[in-house]
Amino acid sequence: MNQTLQSDHPGTEQLSAFLAHVLPAHEHDLTIAHLAKCSYCRSIVFRLQDISVETTTDSMPASSSVPWFKNWKWIVPTATVLSAVVTGVFFLNKRPTELPQRASTVPPTEIASTPPHAMYPPPSVDRIAPSPLSNKTHLSHNRSASPKASSGTPAEVGGEQPSSSNGSLNRPINGRDLPTLIPLTPNSSPSGDSTPESGRQPGGIAGGAAAGMIAPVAPAGGSSLPSGALVVSSASNGTRTLALDRQGNLFLTSNGGRTWQQPARSWDGKAVTIAFSGVPNRTTPEAHHGSGFPRGRFELQTDTGAVWLSFDGTHWMKKTP
C-alpha cells in the first residue's frame, strides 16, 4: 500500500500548494481529479482546511476576531457621548436665535462677589433682553408683553441702556426665565449668605452667579412660597425680592427666601406680573451717587391692567396714568 501511495498520491508539496491556492491550473486540475478518486487525500485536505481555520482563529487576537460593532461594552459610553454632543449642539444653536441675550456689562469680578441672595430673576416685562444687534426684536417683544414697557424710561425698557448694570438683571438665566424654569417648592433653604457653599444650591442656579449669570431666589431644594403655589413672576431690587404665585398672592423676602411675608393687599383684582425697574442695590455706589440704595421701584400689574408701584415692596400705590 505504501508503494501505491508513493507513486500515485500527490505529495506534501502538491497538497500544501493546493491548499494555498498557488498551484498552476494544470496541477490544480490534476489534484482535483485525484481528490475525486482518493478518499485518503480528500480526508487530508479537508482536515488541513479545518486545522488552518482553527489555528488561525486561535492565533488571532481576541479583539480582532470580534467586529467593533458587536462589542456591546461601547454602547453606553457611545450613547452618553452622543447625547451630550447633541444636547450641546442643540443649545448652542437655539440660545442666540430664540432668546437673544444682552451682553453683560457687569465686570466679572463684581458678579462673582455679589451675594447669591442679590441675584434675582429679571422682571417679567423685561424678561427678554436684546442684544445690541436686535433692538427691534426687543422692542416688539416688550410691546406685546407690557404696554407700559415701550413707553418707559430707558432703564425700564432695559435693552435701551446698554451701559446700565440693570441689563444684567434683566438677563434671563441661561436663556430661560425663572418662573418657567423652576417652580418654587416648600422649605426654603438659606441662600442669603455669601459663603461658597451657598453657591452650590441644589438645582445649580446659584452656581450660575460665578459664571456671570443672575441667580433667582433659589427655591429649588426646598425653598418655596408659603402658599405652596408655583411662582409666576418675581422681581428683586437687590435686597428685597417679591414673588407672585399663581393665585395672585404676593410674597416678600429680604433674606434670600428663608422667610416670606405677605404685604398688605392694596390693589384690586388679581396680580399677574411683578417687575422691578431701576438700578438694583448691588451696583457700585459710585455709579449711583454714592447712595447704595436701590434706585428703582417695583411695579405690579393686575389682571385689570392697573399698575401699582412700590419702593420697598410693602407699601403700594396705584400708578396714575
Query: Which residues bind to another protein, rule: CB under 8 A?
Result: 1-2, 5-17, 19-24, 26-27, 29-30, 32-40, 42-52, 54-55, 58-59
Q: How far is the CB of 72 from another protein (least distance, A)?
A: 27
**Closest approach of another protein to the CB of residue 28, in Å:** 10
Contact 272, 308 (CB under 8 A): no
Q: 313 and 298 in contact (C-beta within 8 Å)? A: yes
| Nearest alpha-carbon partner for 206 in 119, 289, 283 | 119
Give me the phi and psi of 102, to 5 degrees please. Answer: -75, 145
Output 49 or 180, the one with its CB closest to another protein: 49
47 vs 315, beta carbon nearer another protein: 47
Identify the helix (H) or strand (E) that includes residue 302.
Answer: strand 295-302
Q: Closest Cα to residue 313, out of 270, 251, 227?
A: 251
Nearer to another protein, 60 or 81 (CB): 60
Triad 226, 228, 232: Cα angle to 5°: 100
Is the Cβ of residue 29 or residue 303 nearer to another protein in the bound state?
29
Shortest Cβ 9–another protein spacing (Å): 7
3-state secondary structure of 235: strand
Q: Compare residues 6 and 63 and give the one whose CB is closer to another protein.
A: 6
Q: What does the DSSP 8-state code read for residue 207?
A: G
Sign of CA dihedral 303, 307, 310, 314: negative
Question: Smallest distance from the beta carbon of 69 to another protein, in angstroms?
Answer: 23
Distances (CA, A) of 184 to 20, 229, 246, 254: 77, 7, 11, 17
DSSP reduced 3-state for 317 = strand
Shortest gap between Cβ of 41 and another protein (angstroms)?
9
Judged by beta carbon, residue 28 or residue 176, the one nearer another protein is 28
Neighbouring residues of 135: CB distance < 8 A, sequence distance ≥ 6: 159, 160
Which CB, 45 or 252, lies closer to another protein?
A: 45
**CB-based contact 169:241 (threshold 8 Å):** no
Find the shortest distance in angstroms from Cβ 61 to another protein.
15
Min dist. Cβ of residue 56 to another protein (A): 10
Query: Is 21 or 136 the residue whose CB approaches another protein more closely?
Result: 21
> Element (H or E) spanning 241, and its range?
strand 241-245
Closest CA to 282 of 134, 149, 116: 116
CB of 57 to another protein, least distance (A): 10
Distance CA 272, CA 307 (A): 10
